[in-house]
Amino acid sequence: MTTTISKPNKSTISPGTMRSRGAEHLGRGRLRSGDIALDPDRSFGEGNPSRGRAFVAGARTIVPVLLALLPFGLAFGATATGNGLTAVQALGMSVFVFAGAAQLAAVPLLSAGASVAIVLLTVLVINLRLTLYSASLAAHFGRLPAGWKGLLAYLLTDQAYAATITPFDEGETDESDKRWYYLGVALAIWVTWQAATMLGIVLGAWASEGWSLDFVLPLIFIAAAVPAIKDRTTGAASLSAGIAALFCGALPLNLGLITAALVGVLGGLVAETVLGRSWR
Amino acid sequence: MSAFTFWLAVAGAGAITFALRLSFIALMGRIKIPVLLSRALRFVPAAVFTAVVIPLLFYVDGAVEVSFGNERLLAGVAAVLIAWRTRSVPLTLVGGMVVLWMLQLMGIGS
């Protein structure tokens, strides 16, 4: 497989565009209207074929991450039924909440008969990081119609954010294709999560034991973190988040994650102010 | 827990999670984003991803463990090097898992 983190949507860039030097000034993947005629693929099909291509490119980029998500979903399905939830209840959580870490944390609380307020507070704290993703993606989705915003927001996960923010921020994806690229990534994740949940329900605890497959979770985030460190200031953000995470790891309710993330953002801002923008 | 309480909790959890996801995506275009916030957003990916990874590598049974006995930390360092050199998600995933399995076979950790 040749999928790379830095240029996952290479296939959305037509050979015709690459030949024209002028288009490169507009950023990777941005097409000028005149370039469309150069691309033989675009003369076929109906409507806007670049949407379909962006969707497929997104879905293709995420395939290795899907394989890594599988054991995580299996673990949830197995844990849920192991804790006495019915199959419908387990699947219902995956559909309505659709957030792995929060689901895994909520299951033992639910089965132990914790109050609804405790469950909701736990879910709130664990998922607070999603607001950071939302803010980060708002620059790209902020102008879409409400229905699109709702759909894309429902499908927002760590993995969908990790796979799309770098190409979006670096201007590698054409503005009107962003939603389709994201949808390709996020829908593939959604389908995989539901399928893995069902498999976990069927296979039970047997599915999640051995092989240390839970280790793919940190590996996904390592693969996302490394290209996110682009210069000294993002390096400072990562370093301060990392140090904070070492100290905050034992905080209750998973509060360490959001605390360390905010310390990291602050560290980046401080570095940018001290070093000045020229030091990037 | 009764079925009613269960579905009440799940509906609440779903609504909260959706609201968190939609928050800024919905606000954008209606309110003006402060300059400081837009500056801060540039650091979100590096900060959050690091904040997720570090405890998963360094913490063993609720305490920080930095030693050659912590095989997840060693495999994680290898994965960082692979990600840095190759920029490839599949290579990072496969390489990290293979290094972890090798360390476990060698009896490091556990």
Residue B51, token pair as written in the block: 């904040």
DSSP-assigned states of every residue in A77-122 = HHHHHHTT--HHHHHHHHHHT--HHHHHHHHHHHHTT--HHHHHHH
Q: Is residue A31 part of a domain?
A: no
Calculate how close chain A gets to B31, using CA atoms only, in Å: 11
Inspect the interface and report whether the beta carbons of B43 and A234 lie closer than 8 Å.
Answer: yes
Which residue from A152, A219, A227 is facing B25, i.e. has the nearest CB?
Answer: A152
CB A60 within 8 A of CB A181: no
pLDDT, averaged per 10 consecutive residues of chain A (280 residues), comes to 40 38 37 40 53 93 88 85 91 95 86 86 87 92 92 95 90 87 97 95 72 81 90 95 90 79 94 73
Which residue from A141, A222, A237 is facing B79, i.e. has the nearest CB?
Answer: A222
Calculate ∠ Cα A176-A156-A105, nearest 5°: 175
Q: Is residue A223 part of a domain?
A: no
Task: Answer whether residue B86 shows pLDDT above 50.
Answer: yes
Would you state the pLDDT for residue B99?
96
User: Does A241 lie in the same domain as A140?
Assistant: no
The whole-angstrom distance between residue A121's C-alpha and the CA centroid of its chain comes to 23
User: Does A129 lie in the same domain as A96?
Assistant: yes
Q: Does B98 touch chain A (CB under 8 A)?
A: no
Q: Does B105 touch chain A (CB under 8 A)?
A: no
User: Does A257 lie in the same domain as A187?
Assistant: no
| 3-class DSSP assignment, residue A6 | coil
Q: Does A264 touch chain B (CB under 8 A)?
A: yes
Give the pLDDT confidence of B15-25 residue by residue, as tens digits.
Answer: 999 999 999 99
The amino acid at residue A186 is A
Q: How far apart are CA A266 and CA A278, in angstroms?
A: 19
The residue length of chain A stands at 280
User: Does A206 lie in the same domain as A179?
Assistant: yes
Q: Does A212 touch chain B (CB under 8 A)?
A: yes
Q: Is residue A42 part of a domain?
A: no
Give the pLDDT confidence of A180-227 residue by residue, as tens digits.
Answer: 999 999 999 999 999 999 998 988 766 556 677 778 878 888 988 998
Interface predicted TM-score of the whole assembly (ipTM), two decimals: 0.88
Would you state the pLDDT for residue A105?
81
Q: Is residue A221 part of a domain?
A: no
DSSP secondary-structure letter at A241? Answer: H
pTM equals 0.75
Q: Is residue A123 part of a domain?
A: yes
Inspect the interface and report whether the beta carbons of B9 and A131 lie closer than 8 Å.
Answer: no
DSSP secondary-structure letter at A31? Answer: P
Domain assignment of residue A164, given as a range: 1-11+56-216
Q: How many domains are there within chain A?
A: 2
Q: Is residue A224 part of a domain?
A: no
Q: Is residue A222 part of a domain?
A: no
Q: Is residue A27 part of a domain?
A: no
